[in-house]
C-alpha cells in the first residue's frame, strides 16, 4: 500500500493559518505514506497535474487530499486520480479549510489540528477498497407541486422543452397567491391580467397534465425514479362535465368562508374560486354543505345544467413515476393574531392584513374594488400601514425580513390614493428595503406623488377610540411619540411557507427552516437544488420572494430538471450499504429503519432468511448500518472499521516527533 | 404422571423437541432438558428452581417445530423473538406453567449453603432442615411480577389465575446503595465491577435476545468495536454495546446476571434502561408480537423525549 498525501495551501486560505510544509513532514512519518507534497492551488490545472504525476511516478495506490470541504471539490479530485489510472474512490478528502484554517487563528494549534486530521484521513484511506459506480435508467417525466406563479412557470418551461409534466395543485384552481393580488409593484400592471394567460397556457399545453384539488400523499424512490402517490380529492363535481357556469354557486344555500378572498366576504359551500379560475370548475366543500351536515339539500345537483354534480365521489389515488420533482408550494401570511395582542389580536375588525386589503382593492374582489371598513362598510379616509408585523421582530421570535412588505405597502398606499383621492395613508416602517430594479423610485413616487406619510418607527399599540383606531408609535427620526387616528389599519404580516410545507418536506426528504421554508442545497451555488437529488425548489417555498424572483427561480429549476431528464441513465453512488449475508441474523431491523425501502428479504439455500440491499434504491444514509446489532450491513466507503480507525487516530496521544521517518523520504514542495 | 408430563407428551406428537426441566440430584435443583420423546418427557418437572429462560434456545431451532415449557416471563422473551423474526409462531408450541416465582440460586447458597433438594412449601422454603421465608430467596424480577398470566400459549398447565404474584419489594441492599450513588460514585462502582469481568460472554450466551451469538460485535474484528483484552475498559465497552443493543428489547429475565460467573450486577443497568424505555415510550418489550420496538420507529410527532428534557 502506497499512500500519497497532498496538502493544499489554497492561496492563503489555508497557508495563512496552517503550516502546510509541517503537515507534509508529519504525513511522511505516517505508516504507508510514500509521498507528501504541499501545493498552492490543488484544484488548479497544474495542481491536478502534480497529483497525477506523483501517482504515476511513485505508483501510489491511495490518495489523501488535505484541502477544502469534499462538497467543493471531491468530484474534481476523483476525476483527477481516475485520469492517473486509479479507482476514483481510493481518495480521502481531509477538510483543513472550513474545519481548520478558517476557524482558527493560532498557527501552531491549527497546524497540529491539521496533522491530526490528516492522520485520521490516512488511517481511513488505508481501509478503503475500490468501489464501482452503477447506473439506473431515468423516468422522463417531471412533477411540479404547486400551481402558483412559480409552479406555472416551471411547468411551462419544462413542458416547452418537450418533457412531460404533471402539475399538482391542492386548491381547485391554478393561480396561487399571485391571483389574489390586485396590481404588482413597481409597474402597477394588473396581476391577473399577466397571470391568467399563463394559467390558460398550462391547461392547454399538450405536455402538461394538470391535477387540481390534488395533494401529494407519498413519495418513494430516488433521483431519476420517483414513485409518487397523488390524492385526487373528492370535490363532488365531475371536472370534465362542469362548464363553470356558477349557477350552483348562486343557488347554494350554505354559506362558507371565502378562501380565495383571504376570508374577506363570504362564499358558498359549492363555488368557483374566481371568475378567471383555471380550470373553471366548481368544487364543493363538504364541511360547509347542508347536504353533508344535515342530510337534506342537493340544490346544486338539481340546478346544474351539465349534470356535473356527484355526491358519491370519493378521494382517488393515482401513482405515477417521475424523474424529477419541483416543489413550488409558495407562502402564506403569518397568523399575527396570537403574537400581537397589542394590535387587538384580531378583536378589532378594522385591523386587517395586507392580503385581505389586496382583495378589497381588486375589482374582482368581494367589495368590487371599493375600499370599505369591515366594521361599518364606510370608506376609510385615514389608513395606517404597519410594516414588519411578525418579521424583523425578535420579540415574537421572528427575526427574518419578509422581503416584500416595504414594496407592497408603497403599492397599496399608491392604490389607496387612486381609489380614494381625499384619503391619507401613513406607513410606519423600520427601514424601507427597496433593493430591486426600479423599486426605490417606486417608493419615492408613493411619497412624492401620492403624499404618503412615512413614519420611521414601530407601532406599539392599536386601540379603538370614538370609532377610530388610535395607532400609538414612536417617530424615531423626530424622537417623539406619535398618535395617528386611523379608520383602517393594514398589517404587513410576515411570511411563512405554506402550511403543509413541513409535511411535504418530510415526504420529499428535504429540510426546512423555522418558518417552514425549504432549504436549498447551497445558499450560493445550489439555489434551486435541495439536498435530495432530483428535488428542486421554485418560488417562495424556499424563502420570501417577489414575483420576478419567483419566476426567475422557476425557470432555473426547470433548466435543472430538463438537463437531468435529458440523460437516459444516471450514475449511482457506489457508497451504498451491503449485507454480509454469512453473518446476517435475519432480524430485519434494517428494513424497519430504511427510509427508501431499499432492503428486501432473500432466502438462502437451507431456508435461512437474510436481508439484501437493492443497490439502486439505497441512498447510503447509513441508518441500517446503525440499526444492525452485529453491524454486518456496512456502508461501502464508510465502514465501521474506517470510522473506528479515524476516531482512534484522533484520540491517540501524539508520539514524540521522529525526524528519522521524514528524512528518509524526499519532501517535495511545489511553490 | 403429572399434568405437565402428559401435556408435554401431547405436544411431542407434533413437535420435534420440547424444552423443559428435569431434577438434577447433583445440582439440588432443576436443570434444562430437551425432550425428544414421551419416555424422556416422563422426567419433566416444574418447581421454583426452574429459573432458566429456555427461550434462549429457540432461535437455533428455527428449522424444527419446538415446544417450550415457559413461565410468564419466559413467554415475553418468546414474544419478543417472534416480533424480531427469530421464531416463527407456527413453529413453536408454548406450554405455559403457573409460576409463583423462582429462586435466586445465589440467595439459596447464602441461606442454606450448597445442599440437596429445596422443598418449597407455601410461604416457607426448606432445605436439609433449615427454613427461610420464600419471598426472601426469590429472584428480584419475581417480586411484583406483572407477567404471571401467559401472554400467548398453546397449552396451559394448571390454573394461571391460581397463583398470586409475589409482593413487590422495596429497593434494598445493592439496589438501594446504587440509587444513592452520585454519577462519579457510579462510575467508580462500574469500573470496579468490570475489572472482574473475564470476557467469557456468558451474559450474552444466556440472553435469549442476544441471538447474534458468534457474529456479536462484542467479539468481532469486523467491525472492531472492542478489543479482546481482559481489562475493565474493554469489558465495559463490550457490555455497553450489549446493553445498548437491548434497549427496548430486554424483557428483564435476569439470565445475564445469573449466568455471570463473577457476579457483576448487570440488571442494575438493564433495569434502568427498561424503566427509561417504559417511561419514554410506554413500551415493555415482549408484550405485543405486533408492536414495533420504539427505537426502530421514527415518529416525528412524538415529543416525549423533548418533554422529558
Instruction: Answer yes or no: do A86 and A188 share one domain.
Output: no
Report how far residue B222's alpha carbon sits from residue B228's, in angstroms, rounded to the nearest whole number: 13
Residues A126 and A179 in one domain: no
Q: Which of residues 227-256 of B touch A (CB under 8 A)?
A: 245
> Do A165 and A117 share a structural domain?
no
The number of residues in chain A equals: 671
The CB density around residue A301, as the number of other CB atoms within 10 Å, is 16
B residues 263-292 closer than 8 Å to A (CB) = 292
Secondary structure class of B206 (helix, strand, coil): helix
The answer, yes or no, to whether residue A664 has pLDDT greater than 50, is: no
Q: With 90 as the cut, is the pLDDT of residue A101 above it?
A: yes
Query: Are residues B292 and A639, on separate chains, in Cβ contact within 8 Å?
Result: no
pLDDT surpasses 70 at A564: yes
* C-alpha–C-alpha distance, residues A351 and A486, integer Å: 10
Q: What is the pLDDT of residues A305-317, one digit of tens each?
A: 999 999 999 999 9
The residue among B88, B220, B222, B248 with the most chain A CBs within 10 A of its CB, best to mutate, is B222
Residue A620 domain-assigned (yes or no): yes
User: Measured on CA atoms in the order A247, A253, A254, A260, is the torsion positive or negative?
Assistant: positive
CB-CB: which of A586, A630, A639 is closest to B85? A586
CA dihedral A214, A215, A218, A222 (to 10 degrees): 90
The answer to whether the CB atoms of A630 and B84 lie below 8 A apart is: no
Whether residue B296 and residue A634 make contact (CB cut-off 8 A), yes or no, is no
The Cα A358–Cα A504 span in angstroms is 28
Query: Which chain A residues in 260-279 lie under 8 Å from chain B, judged by CB atoms?
Result: none
pLDDT one-digit tens code per residue, B229-273: 899 999 999 999 999 999 999 999 999 999 999 999 999 999 999
Residue A449 lies in a domain: yes
What's the CA gap between A268 and A257, in Å, rounded? 7
The verdict on residue A464 lying in a domain is yes
Q: How confident is the model at residue A616 (pLDDT cuts 50, 70, 90)?
A: confident
pLDDT of A662 reads 45
pLDDT of residue B48: 86
Question: Domain for residue A197, yes or no?
Answer: yes
CB A557 within 8 A of CB A535: no
Do A527 and A520 touch, CB atoms closer than 8 A?
yes
CA pair distance A33, B231, nearest whole angstrom: 33
- Average of per-residue pLDDT values in chain A: 93
Those residues of chain B that have pLDDT short of 70 are: 1, 115, 300-309
A625 touches chain B (CB under 8 A): no
Q: What is the pLDDT of residues A117-165, one digit of tens each?
A: 999 999 999 999 999 988 889 999 999 999 999 999 999 999 999 999 9
What is residue A283's predicted lDDT score, i.e. its pLDDT? 95
Q: Distance between CA atoms of A305 and A309, rounded to whole angstroms?
A: 10
Name the residue of chain B whose CA is nearest to A633's CA. B223
Domain annotation covers residue A24: yes
Query: A394-441, pLDDT tens digit by residue?
Result: 999 999 999 999 999 999 999 999 999 999 999 999 999 999 999 999
Q: What is the pLDDT of residue A454?
A: 96
Separation of alpha carbons A155 and A152, rounded Å: 5
Closest Cα partner for A3 from A39, A30, A26? A30
Question: Which residues are CB-neighbours of A61 under 8 A, at least 6 positions away?
Answer: A1, A2, A3, A86, A90
Residue A654 has a pLDDT of 65
CATH for A587: 3.30.70.20
Residues of B with CB below 8 A from A641's CB? 222-224
Q: Answer yes or no: is pLDDT of A663 > 50.
A: no
* Residue A314 counted as domain residue: yes
In chain B, which ranges are continuous DSSP H helix?
Answer: 3-12, 38-41, 72-83, 105-112, 173-180, 183-194, 202-206, 232-245, 255-259, 267-281, 304-308
For chain A positions 562-601, those within 8 Å of chain B (CB to CB) are 583, 585-589, 592-593
Per the model's pLDDT, the better-predicted residue between A666 and B99 turns out to be B99
User: For the segment A347-392, what is each residue's pLDDT rounded down to a tens digit?
Assistant: 999 999 999 999 999 988 888 899 999 999 999 999 999 999 999 9
Cα A337 from Cα A345, distance rounded (Å): 4
Looking at the domain assignment, is residue A522 inside a domain? Answer: no
Go through B201-227 and write b for each residue having 16 or more CB atoms within 10 A of its CB, e for each that does not.
Answer: bbbbebbbbbbbeebbbbbbeebebbe
Q: Is residue A262 domain-shared with residue A346, that is, in the same domain?
A: no
Which residues have a Cβ under 8 Å from the Cβ of B83 and sit 6 or more positions away? B286, B288, B289, B290, B291, B292, B293
Whether residue A308 is found in the same domain as residue A159: yes
Range of the domain at A605: 576-635
Confidence of residue A668 (pLDDT cuts 50, 70, 90): very low
How many distinct structural domains can be found in chain A? 4
**Residue B99 CB contacts under 8 Å (≥ 6 apart), including other chains:** B46, B71, B72, B73, B145, B148, B163
Rounded distance between C-alpha atoms, residue A166 and residue A143, angstroms: 5
Q: Using only C-alpha atoms, what is the Rg of chain B? A: 20
Residue spans of the domains in chain B: they are 1-102+143-169, 170-304
Same domain, yes or no: A44 and A19: yes
CATH number for position A390: 3.50.50.60
Q: Distance between CA A448 and CA A457 in Å, rounded?
A: 20
∠ CA A290-A295-A296, rounded to 5°: 70
One domain, residues A181 and A120: no
- Within chain A, what is the greatest distance between any pair of CA atoms? 98
Q: Which residue is listed with cell 415475553?
A: B76
Last residue within a domain, chosen from A493, A510, A528: A493
**A647–chain B Cβ distance below 8 A for any pair:** no
DSSP-derived secondary structure for B46-83: --TT----GGGGGGGGTTS-EEEEE-HHHHHHHHHHHH
- pLDDT confidence of residue A657: 54
SS (H, E, C) A196-243: HHHHHHHHHCCCEEEECCEEEEEEEEECCEEEEEEEECCCCECCCCCC
Q: Hey, are the CB atoms on A630 and B217 less than 8 Å from each other?
A: yes
Q: Which residues of A touch B240 (CB under 8 A)?
A: none
Interchain contact, A585 vs B215, CB within 8 Å: yes
Q: Are residues A553 and A463 in the same domain?
A: no
Cβ within 8 Å, pair A593-B296:
yes
Instruction: For residues A63 and A6, give the distance between their C-alpha atoms in angstroms, rounded to a whole number.
Output: 8
Q: Are A242 and A272 in contact (CB under 8 A)?
A: no
What long-range pairs does A437-441 form, CB within 8 A, spacing at least 24?
Answer: A438/A186, A438/A187, A439/A185, A439/A186, A439/A407, A441/A186
Contacts of B213 (CB under 8 A, 6+ apart): B204, B205
For B215, the closest of A627, A632, A641 (CB atoms) is A632
Element (H, E) at A192: helix A191-204
Say which of B211, B217, B297 has its CB closest to residue A631.
Answer: B217
CB contact under 8 Å between A589 and B84, yes or no, is yes
Question: What does the pLDDT average to over A580-588?
Answer: 91
Which of A493, A525, A551 is the endpoint of a domain? A493
User: Of B24, B23, B34, B29, nearest to B58 (Cα)?
Assistant: B34
Chain B contact for A627, CB < 8 A?
Answer: yes
Enter the C-alpha cell of residue A584.
Answer: 446476517
In chain B, the residue whose alpha carbon lies closest to the alpha carbon of A639 is B223
Residues A366 and A320 in one domain: no
Percent of the residues in chain A that have a pLDDT greater than 70, as a whole number: 97
The C-alpha atoms of residue B227 and residue B214 are separated, in whole angstroms, by 15
Distance between B91 CA and the closest CA of chain A, angstroms = 14
Q: A440 lies in a domain? A: yes
pLDDT value, residue B1: 65
Q: What mean pLDDT is predicted for residues A191-202?
A: 95
Amino acid at each position: 500500500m502506497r499512500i500519497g498525501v497532498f496538502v493544499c495551501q489554497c492561496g492563503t486560505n489555508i497557508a495563512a493559518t496552517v503550516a502546510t510544509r509541517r503537515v507534509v513532514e508529519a504525513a511522511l512519518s505516517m505508516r504507508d505514506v510514500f509521498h507528501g507534497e504541499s501545493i498552492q492551488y490543488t484544484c488548479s490545472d497544474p495542481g491536478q497535474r502534480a497529483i497525477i504525476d506523483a501517482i504515476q511516478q511513485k505508483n501510489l495506490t491511495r490518495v489523501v487530499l488535505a484541502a477544502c470541504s469534499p462538497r467543493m471539490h471531491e468530484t474534481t479530485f476523483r476525476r483527477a486520480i481516475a485520469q492517473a489510472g486509479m479507482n476514483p474512490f481510493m481518495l480521502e478528502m481531509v477538510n483543513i479549510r472550513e474545519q481548520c484554517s478558517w476557524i482558527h487563528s493560532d498557527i501552531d494549534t491549527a497546524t497540529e489540528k491539521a496533522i491530526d486530521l490528516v492522520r485520521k484521513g490516512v488511517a481511513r484511506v488505508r481501509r478503503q477498497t475500490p468501489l464501482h459506480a452503477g447506473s439506473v435508467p431515468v423516468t422522463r417525466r417531471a412533477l411540479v407541486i404547486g400551481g402558483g406563479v412559480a409552479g406555472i412557470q416551471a411547468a411551462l418551461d419544462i413542458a416547452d422543452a418537450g418533457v412531460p409534466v404533471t402539475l399538482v395543485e391542492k386548491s381547485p384552481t391554478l393561480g396561487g397567491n399571485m391571483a389574489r393580488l390586485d396590481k404588482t409593484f413597481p409597474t402597477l400592471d394588473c396581476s391577473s391580467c399577466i397571470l391568467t394567460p399563463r394559467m390558460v397556457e398550462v391547461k392547454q399545453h399538450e405536455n402538461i397534465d394538470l391535477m387540481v384539488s390534488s395533494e401529494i400523499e407519498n413519495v418513494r424512490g430516488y433521483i431519476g425514479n420517483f414513485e409518487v402517490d397523488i390524492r385526487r380529492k373528492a370535490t363532488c363535481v365531475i371536472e370534465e362535465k362542469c362548464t363553470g357556469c356558477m349557477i350552483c354557486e348562486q343557488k347554494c344555500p350554505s354559506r362558507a368562508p371565502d378562501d380565495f378572498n383571504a376570508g374577506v366576504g363570504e362564499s358558498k359551500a359549492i363555488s368557483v374560486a374566481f371568475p378567471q379560475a383555471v380550470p373553471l370548475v366548481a368544487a364543493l366543500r363538504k364541511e360547509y354543505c347542508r347536504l353533508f351536515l344535515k342530510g337534506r339539500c342537493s340544490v346544486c345537483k338539481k340546478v346544474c345544467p351539465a349534470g356535473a354534480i356527484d355526491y358519491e365521489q370519493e378521494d382517488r389515488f393515482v401513482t405515477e413515476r417521475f424523474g424529477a420533482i419541483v416543489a413550488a408550494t409558495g407562502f402564506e401570511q403569518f397568523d399575527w393574531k396570537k403574537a400581537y395582542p397589542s394590535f387587538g389580536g384580531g378583536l378589532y375588525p378594522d385591523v386587517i392584513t395586507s392580503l385581505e386589503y389586496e382583495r378589497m382593492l381588486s375589482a374582482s374582489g368581494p367589495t368590487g374594488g371599493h375600499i370599505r371598513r369591515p366594521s361599518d362598510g364606510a370608506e376609510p379616509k385615514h389608513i395606517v400601514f404597519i410594516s414588519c408585523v411578525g418579521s424583523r421582530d425578535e420579540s415574537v421570535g421572528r427575526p427574518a425580513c419578509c422581503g416584500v412588505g416595504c414594496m407592497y405597502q408603497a403599492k397599496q398606499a399608491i392604490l389607496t390614493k387612486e381609489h380614494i383621492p381625499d384619503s391619507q395613508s401613513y406607513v410606519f416602517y423600520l427601514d424601507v428595503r427597496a433593493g430591486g430594479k426600479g423599486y426605490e423610485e417606486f417608493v419615492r413616487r408613493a411619497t412624492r406623488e401620492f403624499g404618503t406619510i412615512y413614519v420611521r418607527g414601530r407601532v406599539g399599540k392599536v386601540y379603538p377610540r370614538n370609532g377610530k383606531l388610535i395607532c400609538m408609535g414612536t417617530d424615531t427620526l423626530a424622537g417623539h411619540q406619535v398618535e395617528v387616528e386611523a379608520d383602517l389599519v393594514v398589517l404587513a404580516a410576515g411570511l411563512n411557507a405554506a402550511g403543509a410545507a413541513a409535511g411535504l418536506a418530510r415526504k420529499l426528504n428535504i429540510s426546512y427552516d423555522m418558518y417552514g421554508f425549504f432549504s436549498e442545497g447551497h445558499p450560493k451555488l445550489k439555489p434551486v437544488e435541495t439536498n435530495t437529488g432530483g428535488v428542486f425548489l421554485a418560488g417562495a417555498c424556499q424563502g420570501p420572494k417577489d414575483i420576478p424572483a419567483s419566476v426567475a427561480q422557476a425557470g432555473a429549476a426547470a433548466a435543472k430538471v430538463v438537463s437531468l431528464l435529458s440523460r437516459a441513465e444516471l450514475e449511482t453512488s457506489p457508497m451504498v450499504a451491503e449485507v454480509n449475508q454469512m453473518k446476517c441474523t435475519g432480524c430485519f431491523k434494517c428494513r424497519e429503519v430504511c427510509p427508501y425501502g431499499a432492503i428486501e428479504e432473500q432466502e438462502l439455500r437451507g431456508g435461512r432468511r437474510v436481508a439484501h440491499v437493492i443497490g439502486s434504491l439505497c441512498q447510503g444514509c447509513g441508518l441500517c448500518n446503525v440499526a444492525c446489532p452485529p453491524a454486518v450491513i456496512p456502508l461501502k466507503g464508510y465502514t465501521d472499521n474506517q470510522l473506528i480507525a479515524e476516531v482512534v487516530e484522533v484520540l491517540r496521544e501524539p508520539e514524540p516527533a521522529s525526524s528519522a521517518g521524514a528524512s528518509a523520504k524526499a519532501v517535495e514542495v511545489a511553490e | 404422571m403429572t399434568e405437565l408430563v402428559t401435556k408435554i407428551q401431547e405436544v411431542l406428537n407434533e413437535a420435534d423437541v420440547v424444552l423443559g426441566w428435569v431434577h438434577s440430584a447433583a445440582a439440588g435443583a432443576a436443570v434444562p432438558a430437551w425432550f425428544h420423546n414421551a419416555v424422556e418427557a416422563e422426567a419433566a418437572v416444574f418447581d421454583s428452581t426452574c429459573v432458566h429462560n429456555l427461550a434462549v434456545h429457540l432461535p437455533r431451532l428455527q428449522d424444527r417445530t419446538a415446544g417450550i415449557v415457559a413461565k410468564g416471563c419466559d413467554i415475553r422473551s418468546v414474544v419478543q423473538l417472534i416480533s424480531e423474526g427469530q421464531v416463527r409462531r407456527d413453529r413453536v408450541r408454548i406450554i405455559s406453567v403457573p409460576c409463583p416465582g423462582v429462586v435466586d440460586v445465589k440467595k439459596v447458597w447464602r441461606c442454606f449453603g450448597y445442599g440437596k433438594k429445596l422443598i418449597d412449601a407455601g410461604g416457607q422454603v426448606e432445605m436439609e432442615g433449615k427454613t427461610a421465608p420464600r419471598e426472601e430467596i426469590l429472584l428480584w424480577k419475581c417480586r411484583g411480577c406483572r407477567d404471571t398470566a401467559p401472554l400467548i400459549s398453546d397449552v396451559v398447565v394448571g390454573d394461571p389465575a391460581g397463583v398470586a404474584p409475589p409482593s413487590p419489594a422495596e429497593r434494598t441492599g445493592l439496589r438501594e446503595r446504587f440509587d444513592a450513588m452520585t454519577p462519579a460514585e457510579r462510575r467508580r462502582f462500574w469500573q470496579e465491577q468490570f475489572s472482574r469481568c473475564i470476557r467469557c460472554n456468558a451474559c450474552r450466551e444466556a440472553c435469549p435476545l442476544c441471538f447474534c451469538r458468534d457474529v456479536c460485535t462484542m467479539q468481532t474484528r469486523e467491525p472492531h468495536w472492542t478489543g479482546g483484552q481482559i481489562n475493565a475498559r474493554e469489558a465495559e465497552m463490550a457490555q455497553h454495546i450489549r446493553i445498548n443493543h437491548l434497549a427496548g428489547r430486554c424483557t428483564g429475565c435476569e439470565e445475564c446476571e445469573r449466568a455471570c460467573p463473577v457476579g457483576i450486577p448487570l440488571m442494575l443497568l438493564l433495569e434502568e434502561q427498561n424503566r427509561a424505555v417504559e417511561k419514554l415510550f410506554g413500551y415493555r418489550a415482549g408484550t405485543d408480537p405486533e408492536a414495533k420496538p420504539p427505537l426502530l420507529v421514527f415518529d416525528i410527532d412524538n415529543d416525549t423525549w423533548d418533554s422529558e428534557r
